[in-house]
Structure 1
Amino acid sequence: MRRAADMTPQELAEASADAMWAADRASQHLGMVIEHIAPGAARLRMEVTRTMTNGHDNGHGGYIFTLADSAFAFACNSYNAVTVGQQASITYLAPARLGDHLTADAREVSRAGRSGVYDVEVTNQHGTRIALFRGMSRTVRGSYVPD
């Protein structure tokens, strides 16, 4: 295995995502797919299945939050430093429907010291904004790729 010091930032982001994905049973179980990873950014997608709908026959907000939270996690862990969510909030803008293909695009807004701020936009296959999520991260001990 290559050392972190010998990798480009993009290679390090991809290696960190691979290591995280291997242990991320929740995202895998929900059928999420990583479409893009880069330093400070990630894009994940997920289809809304019947078991993800609520009593209004819309996509349950908890699953939408989980998709956004997973994109946030991959974005803030893209620097080979184990990073956890410290706080997050979401605003739902439109309902998701059964069969919708949701995409969560996470991008870094700020990163200083051990703290970061990330915004995630969740859209459906038509480009309709479904939700806006903001997460604050905190770097803890550990890394994904040895130095």
Structure 2
Amino acid sequence: MTNKLADEMSPEELATACSKAMWDADEASRRMGMVIEHIAPGRSKVTMAITKWMCNGHGTAHGGFIFALADSAFAFACNSYNARAVAQHCSITYVAPALEGDELVASAQEVTRFGRNGIYDIRVCKQDGNLIAEFRGHSRQVRGTHVPEEGAE
């Protein structure tokens, strides 16, 4: 699959190739211990274990790490069509705390795409399925692709 042009790939292959290209350049997500569990057009599932250094003065996971996990799942979902996309606006609502040792699962789902814009909902849950946070991301396509297309230089 890695030698195929984007125009020759199925939507699932293209989403996987885009996520690989992004992952290879995503030092932040890798260093935080995130793992891409699933990728599909407009969807992703990314996990991350909460470690001691991710906890705040209350002994709970710092909200910035939860936001980062949701934001990474959002990024992989909205970039799955081989059009580079960035966050235009994001919001998060924290519902419950996460603790050291919890395995968080961020599941991103496309709500809609229109023009160069997209809206994505990301649920962050603990390993037992209990909800931790709800995140909504608005994306905006910018120039470029992740995988070369036929005729591209």
TM-score when normalising by structure 1:
0.99
Code of the residue aligned with 2:92 in structure 1: it is I
CA distance in 1, matches of 2:81, 2:117: 13
Q: Secondary structure at the match of 1:116?
A: strand
1:35-80 deviation line (CA, Å, top 9, x unaligned): 0000000000000000000000001000000000000000000000
Counterpart in 2 of 1:96? 98
Counterpart in 2 of 1:74? 76
Counterpart in 2 of 1:34? 36
Counterpart in 1 of 2:67? 65
Code of the residue aligned with 2:148 in structure 1: it is P
CA distance in 1, matches of 2:65, 2:17: 26
CA distance in 2, matches of 1:81, 1:32: 23
Q: Give structure 1 regions of 4+ aligned residues with deviation exceeding 3 angstroms.
A: none
Identity in percent: 59
After TM superposition, list the pairs within 5 Å mapping 1:2-13 onto structure 2: 2-13=4-15
Counterpart in 1 of 2:110? 108
Aligned counterpart in structure 2 of residue 24 of structure 1, from 15, 22, 26: 26
CA distance in 1, matches of 2:58, 2:36: 29
C-alpha RMSD of the superposition? 0.4
TM-score when normalising by structure 2:
0.95
**Gap runs ≥5 in structure 2:** none
